[in-house]
Amino acid sequence: MCAVPGVAPSEELRALMLRVYAALERADGPTLAELFSAEGHLLLIGSDPQEWVSGPEGVQVFLAQVEEMAGFTMEPGDVVAWSHESAGWVADEPRLVLANGTAVHARVTAVLVIERGHWRIVQWHMSVPQANEEALGYSLPTSVEMIEHYVRADRPDLTPASAPDGTVTIVFSDIESSTVLLERLGDTEFLGMLAWHDRIVRGTAERHRGFVVKSQGDGFMLAFPSAAFALRSALAIRDQIRAGFAGMPIRIRIGLHAGEAIRHADDFYGRTVVIAARISALALGDEILASGLVHELARGLGTFTFGEARATTLKGLDGEFAVYPVLG
């Protein structure tokens, strides 16, 4: 149940957001003008410090920017929409593909009210996420990072999850935007959601011959004796979590990497664990990312499908790494 009586998911507002995306791609000024408020309380916010425009003229500025970017496409993420009486709000993480082929992951939120008999956007915020380290000058620790630091220092015995050659596949996971969920669900429901999430992760890992190395809040580190067991468990966890809790969409992020924990403990705890944690931090909500090594170990089985490799850097590590979205 929702923390506020009367708040409910809104398929109508979800569909409206998709209409906005389509109108943006076409630079369809008349449609956008109809979907946005024409009143003085309209507010549009972007990533640039100058992109804070209010009032009806804000739509004209917005349209000029859209026309300047002609040729881009917007691929919806998992659009979340809620409403309560004559007010509603929508959030999404769409993927923008620019005319030159560059892909950008953005964040969009919109607040809507009923004006003149129809839903109109009164606040629109679209920005490109920036790491705390870049924006603030330092990193704020996440639950996954706290687990990573603990494991590197404590070096737990992973023999029970090791293959005969000493190889262990590591899975890090956490819930996307858990602080936002806390605000939406309230303390009691949020704790219930964490308990539900905990049961899914622990039970699914156990069924796939894995075990929980460490958990912290909504973050988990799991260990498995093979890449196949780890991938099956990750897919099963994601599929159960995406069903949502008490009508609230919940999205998990998962990263996998493998290494030799028994014969090369120093390298394993000094590098393998770090890589797995960093890969999980790159994942979007509802996404599973595997390292190049996990991809190599699993692709010959013919039971898993992967997306195209993405070249990336990992915080605190030299060089470039290939990560593969796990599709199924």
Q: Is the distance from CB of 133 to CB of 139 less than 8 angstroms? A: yes
pLDDT in tens, 244-291: 998 888 999 999 999 888 777 777 887 888 999 999 988 988 899 999
What's the confidence (pLDDT) of residue 235? 97
Q: Is the distance from CB of 58 to CB of 44 less than 8 angstroms? A: yes
Q: Is the distance from CB of 218 to CB of 178 less than 8 angstroms? A: yes
Give how far Cα 221 sits from Cα of 53, 77, 173, 224, 256, Å. 44, 26, 7, 10, 10
For residues 117 and 56, the model is more confident at 117
Q: pLDDT-based confidence at 118, cuts 50/70/90?
A: very high
Topology of the domain covering 138-325: Alpha-Beta Plaits (3.30.70)
pLDDT in tens, 144-193: 878 888 888 888 888 878 888 888 999 999 998 887 788 778 888 889 99
- What does residue 322 show for φ and ψ, rounded to 5 degrees? -100, 130
Question: Quick one: CATH architecture of 8-127?
Answer: Roll (3.10)
Q: pLDDT-based confidence at 1, cuts 50/70/90?
A: very low
Domain boundaries, the chain: 8-127, 138-325
The alpha carbon torsion through 173, 177, 178, 179 (nearest 10 deg) reads 150
For the chain, the average pLDDT equals 87
Q: Is the distance from CB of 205 to CB of 225 less than 8 angstroms? A: no
Instruction: Find tokens 């159960």 and name the residue.
Output: 240
Q: pLDDT-based confidence at 2, cuts 50/70/90?
A: very low
- Beta-strand (E) ranges in 13-117? 43-45, 52-54, 73-75, 80-84, 87-92, 95-97, 103-105, 107-115
pLDDT in tens, 5-52: 688 999 999 999 999 999 999 988 889 889 999 898 999 998 877 788
> What residue type is 150 in one-letter code?
Y
